[in-house]
Amino acid sequence: MANFPDDWNPLAVEQAKNELAIRNVSPEYQNKKVSVWKRYKEKKKIVTNKRKATERYYWDDFIFRLDEVIIEMLFDWDMKKDGYIKKHQQRKYTFAVIGLLVVVVYVFLKLKE
């Protein structure tokens, strides 16, 4: 907390600094811990981004979670920006197939008349 003051309440930061001084925690030790935390956070971010990029819809999602999938496909337009690359591609293909089916059914019904 004392090393990331922008993320915390100023009173809490001051209290954390006082507590570190009372416990005689050296600045070198604090910097060492902060660097370890930053590396851990970066690794976690990389793993999360890889997981997001490969996350996709499965067939059972369309069977068991149809309402959630439809709402997500229709209203979540920032999938690619949020890192869900595979889901974004699947949404594009799904809309293309649905559009093609609508056109085919429309043409079929018009030809039948």
Q: How far is CA 102 from CA 66, 71, 77, 80, in A?
A: 19, 20, 22, 26
Q: Is the pLDDT of residue 5 over 90?
A: no
Q: Residue 95's pLDDT is what? A: 92
Q: Is pTM beyond 0.75 here? A: no
Q: Residue 77's pLDDT is what? A: 83
Q: Is the pLDDT of residue 10 over 90?
A: no
Q: Is the pLDDT of residue 4 over 80?
A: no
Beta carbons of 2 and 30 less than 8 angstroms apart: yes
Q: Domain boundaries in the chain?
A: 1-54, 56-113
Beta carbons of 56 and 92 less than 8 angstroms apart: no
Q: Residues with Cβ < 8 Å from 16, sequence gap 6 or more?
A: 1, 2, 8
pLDDT tens column, 82-99: 999 999 999 999 999 999
Beta carbons of 84 and 52 less than 8 angstroms apart: yes
